Amino acid sequence: MRIFANTNYDFIKWRWHALILSIVLIWGGVASIYFKGGVPLGIEFTGGTEVILKFQQPVGEDAVRKAVDPISNEAVVQQYGPPQEHTIIVRLPQMKGAEQGDALEADSKRVEDAIRAANLGPFEPSKNIIGPVMGKDYQRKGIWATVAALGGMLIYVAFRFRFSFAVGAIVASFHDILITMVFLTWFGYDLSLNIIAGLLTITGYSVNDTIVVFDRVRENQRQMRREPLDQIVNKSVNQTLGRTVITSGTTLLAVLSLYLFGGEVLRGFAFTMVVGVLTGTYSTVFIAASIAIILSRRTAVTQVQARPRQTKAKRA
């Protein structure tokens, strides 16, 4: 089955509108992150205690939050998993002086004691304790993993295509990461290892989608030598539009199902993927192609300006 066959939409016509929209979203997100004091980090990066409480009867989040407030007013209390499982997760950030494993263990015990003292009913606790040294190590590894992925993709695309196309692909990848981070902050998600995994996944997904378009551009350049790059890129986007919609649509359905039914543990990853698939498709059509066209034009202008100088130098 073929969809969007023989389309001729003028996507390149809207490239400046798309670039302005992206800039507004990114700067709006950066401003909100700045005024909130930075990107909120999960306990994997900051260190702290995570206690999962599985009750035998329904217990509200407000009751659990009220019980743990005397321990820390920064504790995060959320429902964990389906409501019928009666499970609540309590995330307690690292407290001052809690630099040793014993201190973090004590924080977990204080949470359990507070719940018992509040008489909220029988429960089975499980815990996850992360020290600050391990949290900093996770931070460093997450940053290097992202930088290495983007660097490797830049080298690959530059080797396979021209350098301006490689820059367009990497700018589009940065665009996808920034837009996704903005939406994560707006919707109150902490930066965790699951979300880092999601960011790396959408980076590869976005670049793969961009390479499909660029590969078609390279093929069309051989057949349309006298046509301007704008028309070649626009035709290539239209030729791959059906493939883009089918691939992005089926991927979106999968990650949306994961978001709705995957439970609390996978919700951050799934939300990252939902936003990433949407913005990755958008950036492939508008951002990557637009950057490639702009850089290619500048390179062509520079070469044209350099030719008269070289001719004059030879005559002299």
| Local structure of 79: helix, strand or coil | strand
Band of pLDDT at residue 77, cut at 50, 70 and 90: confident
266/194 Cα distance (integer angstroms): 7
Most confident range, picked from 35-49, 56-70, 163-177: 56-70
Band of pLDDT at residue 303, cut at 50, 70 and 90: very low
* pLDDT, tens digit (0-9, with 9 covering 90-100), for 30-59: 888 888 777 777 777 777 788 888 898 888
* pLDDT, tens digit (0-9, with 9 covering 90-100), for 237-267: 888 888 888 888 899 999 999 888 877 668 8
B/e letters for 141-161, b = 16+ CB within 10 Å, e = fewer, are: ebeeebeebbeebbeebbeeb
Band of pLDDT at residue 300, cut at 50, 70 and 90: very low
The pair phi, psi for residue 220, each rounded to 5°, is -70, -30
* pLDDT, tens digit (0-9, with 9 covering 90-100), for 132-152: 566 677 777 777 877 887 777
CA-wise closest residue to 244 among 283, 291, 199: 283
Asked whether residue 274 is domain-assigned, the answer is yes
Same-domain pairing of 144 and 201: yes
Same-domain pairing of 22 and 157: yes
The alpha carbons of the chain give a radius of gyration, in whole angstroms, of 25
Q: Which two tokens stand for residue 136?
A: 């900093």
Q: With a cut of 80, say whether residue 205 has pLDDT above it.
A: yes
Asked whether residue 261 is domain-assigned, the answer is yes
B/e letters for 114-132, b = 16+ CB within 10 Å, e = fewer, are: bbeeeebeebeeebebbbb
Domain boundary among 100, 130, 160: 130
* Amino acid of residue 297: R
Show the domain range for 122: 48-130
Max Cα-Cα span within the chain: 95
